[in-house]
Chains A and B, each alone.
Chain A
Amino acid sequence: MNNSVLWYTTRGAGAVSLVLLSAVVVLGILSVLRVQTTGWPRFLTVGLHRNLALMTLVFLTLHIVTAVVDPFTHLGWLAAVVPFSSYYRTFWLGLGTIAFELLLAIVLTSLVRGFIGQAAWRLLHWLTYAAWPFAVLHGVGTGTDAWSAWLFTLQAFCVIAVLAAIGYRFMTGSRDPLADARSSFQGAVDRREPR
């Protein structure tokens, strides 16, 4: 394969990953806030959130694999796994490694949510708020054309969208949307002593 193809793929997949990840974060926040309409009930937001998250992992894998196998970079597989072990842009690339590992943990714990329980899953899901900024900084610091107009616009758009969603969440609070219904149903089927 032509080496420049690998290099372009790495950068392209990286940019796509950032857009997808930002969309996943925004959708996650919207679902927590019960944003819905008649034509778009909330459970569809959750479904899209999940599917885009899985798709993000696919593009991230593409991003990482093409970067590592690119013969020009000589990154090595260790750099993909151990943060700050890369000779090349050690700090910025390390942020990317951390972001990927956090996202992997978030997705894997979501897939086995039934086993680890709702509380543990929720706690781990908060890691998203660490993973996303790491991913953005990694893009800004490592990207060889981060300051080109189109990529800058893309990154700015992602940052503004996520910050707006976070700001909206801060303003409206973030109760578990199922909490009321769940506790009322549990109350109806709770037979613990004393009643």
Chain B
Amino acid sequence: MSAPQLLAGPDPSRGSERRAEHVARLGPLPKGGHALIELLVRTGLTGRGGAGFPVGLKWRAVTTASHGSAVVIANGAEGEPHSRKDRLLMTSRPHLILDGAMLAAASVHAKQVVLYIGEEHHAAMRSMSGALTERTEHERRMVRIVAAPPRYVAGDSSATVHLVDAGIATPTTTPPSPRDRGVGGAATLVQNVETLAHVAVIARTGIATDTVLITVAGGVRAPGVFEVNVGTPLGDAVQLAGGASEPVRAVLVGGYFGQWVEPAEAWSLPLDPHALRARGLSLGCGVIGLVPASHCAVCEVAGIMRYLASESSAQCGPCFFGLRALADACTRIAERGTDPGDLQRLQRWSAEVQGRGACKHPDGVVMFLQSAMKTFGDDFAHHPAHIRRSA
């Protein structure tokens, strides 16, 4: 792959880059403000936390709602089970993230910055807090670190606000969106740490970054995080991870809230947020998961469904009961074999659950299940009864 932009410089495995080296390599922190927001709008940078919302537009909205006292949350919760890219970035390039967060604060008129870091991401926590001690006194006073519980929904933007405000990382009903009414009622910009790192580079170069961080997981020889050029074929990213370790049944693009794709179609897919969206797919949080042909797809899906159902925060009935019913039906098919009634129920109940939660958790799970039932239609229709293998 061509030149990395976020992971340029010392080998990321050597750990946290010091501030002196960071500044020597990239130059001082430029100024944030209106011009930077317009630059971000022009570059078309989209969020890398999962939802892929256009960054410039989000910053504009927060600025409009801020009235001079917004809050910035740098989201490094990384609750997606197979994702590693946020951790790698936090442990190796903390100042890039801090730069992005400070630029965001200056641009949207924020006086507070929260580094929201998964509490089990110990190396990331150490790296970020160490980097903070190297920043100016003014910055140190603005920034605080908040530990995020290791649960899937804890990275939801409303959950980050709820934890900072009330100490409980459960999502809350939107609207109001955090960008209108977030921490302490102030307009709040919640932005993934990789996104902020891109901002730090764009602010210096004045042009769009053209890389994405991808986590390649599952049936590959050397799973890991890779910075690839936007538009790189998915198959090339798999090659960077040592290639598939055995024949591939399907590829999950974008993490658990992403879509299943047949290998034949997957290898040529461009790793480009806009191009994927045009095809009805999503880069999501950048996880590419390979399921080997030797694994039973239905059992894999059932295992993931049980996990996602257990991650419902049990605030809304349709999410808690509905996802559990869907996961149970998947598990019945996995353990006892296909039952036409269960297949029908999966279809019908999916439609019933959609749009019925306060947050988007049930919608994401339903999208995952519907994509699985489309890609693994035959497997679901003719699944034999067998003892399930652990997912």
Contact = CB atoms under 8 A, between A and B. Distances in A.
Given A177-B317, A178-B320, A182-B313, A189 B325 contact: no
Given A39-B341, A181-B314, A188 B321 contact: no
Interface residues of A, number: 26
Given A189-B154, A189-B169, A190-B168, A42 B321 contact: yes
B168 A186 contact: yes
Contacts of A43: 317-318, 321-322, 325, 349, 352-353, 356
B173 interface: yes
A171 to B, nearest CB: 22
B163 A191 contact: yes
A132 to B, nearest CB: 22
Q: Which of A46, A186, A189 has the most CB of B within 10 A?
A: A189
Contacts of A181: 314, 320
Interface string B299-318: 00000000000001111011
B146 to A, nearest CB: 8
Interface string A21-65: 000000000010000100101111011000000000000000000
Contacts, number: 79
A44 B170 contact: no
A181 B149 CA distance: 17
B19 interface: no
B352 A47 contact: yes
A192 B352 CA distance: 35
Contacts of B147: 191
Interface string A157-195: 000000000000000000001100110111011111100
Contacts of B312: 185
Contacts of A118: 315
A185 B321 contact: no
A189 B170 CA distance: 7
Contacts of B169: 189, 191
B180 to A, nearest CB: 13
A150 interface: no
A190 B314 contact: no
A181 B309 CA distance: 12
Given A189-B159, A192-B167, A192-B168, 15 more contacts: A31-B317, A41-B325, A43-B325, A43-B349, A43-B353, A44-B352, A114-B173, A114-B358, A115-B173, A118-B315, A182-B314, A186-B170, A189-B313, A191-B149, A193-B167
